Amino acid sequence: MRFLKPIFIFLFFCFLLFISVFPQVLRCSLVKYDNFNALQSGVYIATGTTLKQQDSLKKYIKIAKKRVEGFWGSQKGEATIIFCDNLEKYQQYCRTSEGAGCTIGTPVGSWIVLNKDGLNADVIAHEMSHDELMTRVGWWKTKTKIPTWFDEGVALMLDYRFVNAQDSVQR
């Protein structure tokens, strides 16, 4: 019994250290208690999200899921999607102002955070691909054994923003 108190204090200190270094993980974990509404299961939207954006998000998630299923055979990733209606919220959840979206993966869960520029099927499919790889390979292996170029390359295969209509021979 006398060892429980030091162990508890140590674990609490580790938790506080983790949260201070990675606050976005705690924020994403508690998104349903923040200023967000559930659009559908596993999808949260900022309260300022318009009806048009909500409809677009639903449509683009469907398209992105089809791309993931077409490439991977099925979708095993279950990342929670968080749509931020302004850059400040996006920075709180992603800890960066760059990009249209980001994927935050941990051993206990994954989140896809999108800003207004990420409201399209390409960005959502790209981020879903990161989650899919992490789900299939595992968090630890993805972080330690999979090179970033490979992870990004696979994600780009589902992201059609940078592809011309011409095939590679015509280019």
Using alpha carbons only, how large is the chain's radius of gyration in Å? Answer: 18
- Let me know: does 124 contact 60? Beta carbons within 8 Å: yes
As a whole number of angstroms, the distance between CA 152 and CA 54 comes to 27
C-alpha of 63 from chain center: 16
What is the mean predicted confidence (pLDDT) over 79-87?
Answer: 92
pLDDT at 168 exceeding the cut of 60:
no
Beta bridge partners of 159: none
Query: In the chain, where are the structural domains located?
Result: 22-157
Over residues 11-21, the pLDDT tens digits come to: 766 666 555 55
Q: 43-50: long-range contacts at Cβ-Cβ below 8 A with a sequence spacing of 24 or more?
A: 43/80, 43/81, 43/83, 44/80, 44/81, 44/82, 44/83, 45/83, 45/85, 46/83, 46/84, 46/85, 46/86, 46/89, 47/85, 48/85, 48/86, 49/83, 49/85
User: What are 111-166's pLDDT values in tens digits?
Assistant: 999 999 999 999 999 999 999 999 999 999 998 999 999 999 999 999 888 766 55
| 22-157: CATH, from 1.20.1510, 1.10.3470, 3.40.30, 2.30.30 | 3.40.30
Q: What is the pLDDT of residue 151?
A: 94
Model pLDDT for residues 24-66, shown as the tens digit of each residue: 777 888 888 888 999 999 999 999 899 999 999 999 999 999 9
